[in-house]
Copies of this chain bind each other. A is one copy, B any other.
């Protein structure tokens, strides 16, 4: 890896942690210890059960219990057993707790403001744009692609969202019954595979690959959640599927798409796909693409 890049990243880490750290202590580290503050924040407006809280923050059960006791005696939260399972306890903010949480929120705003405050408006705009870029790329780096069964809850979640989006974006709506839908078996080994992208454990995208024995590999149902767009995930799916198709000895990858999905069409073209004549009669397709892929040395 490039040493100059490493050096720059280190400088960035140093400056950012120093500057943000100092301001963090100033605006947020005043009265309440950060353990309690984090908890207060994570409880949220509508309350949660203790178990989930513990899981999200990765804390010891005894420790959380003690923190909650302390918040309770300070009158910021109420803890009570759930009536359908009296082992599980639910935490809720009191009015006072809500106000304290609001103060934390305001402190975060002030922190952010004080980073921008000394700059003129052109510099602010540049800083914010660069922060956005850093944030997106760091987030992109934490997304994982995992092969799952198309029946997996995460896969189904993505597929439902995908169909919902199609019926919204296609001017004619989208009726699954009219489309050439692969049955689930076609996207499951050995006849295919299905990938789910996850960010912090939550599914944020999917893509399927059909591997028919007598025809080119075919990409189906590629979708990225709106909140996870602009992370280069589409391109990453394509690269991953290409590698996997090659690993299965396929030399051609193809797909069809609807003209309403403009950004997708652009993605395919810029990823080396070339438009070809219709290779199926999918009623919702306007474009058909194909790409030659390099065969890897050791197909599985």
Contact = CB atoms under 8 A, between A and B. Distances in A.
Interface string A242-276: 00000000000000000000000000000000000
A169 interface: no
Nearest to A4: B128
B130 A137 contact: yes
Contacts of A142: 19, 118
A113 to B, nearest CB: 5
A109 B186 CA distance: 45
A279 interface: no
Contacts of A116: 1, 5-6, 9
As for how many copies of this chain the complex holds, the number is: 2
A135 B15 contact: yes
Interface stretch (A85-93, A119-127, A150-158): A119-127
B16 A138 contact: yes
Contact of A131 (B117, B132, B134): B134
A300 to B, nearest CB: 24
Contacts of A19: 138, 141-142
A8 B119 contact: no
29 contacts: A1-B113, A1-B117, A5-B112, A6-B112, A8-B132, A8-B135, A9-B116, A9-B131, A10-B111, A10-B112, A11-B135, A13-B20, A13-B108, A13-B112, A15-B135, A15-B138, A16-B20, A16-B135, A19-B142, A117-B141, A118-B142, A119-B140, A126-B133, A126-B137, A127-B133, A127-B134, A127-B137, A129-B133, A130-B131
B119 A141 contact: yes
Contacts of A134: 12, 16, 127, 130-131, 134
Which of A129, A131, A133 lies at the interface centre, i.e. has the most chain B CB atoms within 10 A of its CB?
A: A131
B12 A131 contact: yes
Interface string A1-30: 110011111111101110110001000000
Interface string A44-78: 00000000000000000000000000000000000
A135 to B, nearest CB: 5
B8 A128 contact: yes
A139 B19 CA distance: 9
A185 interface: no
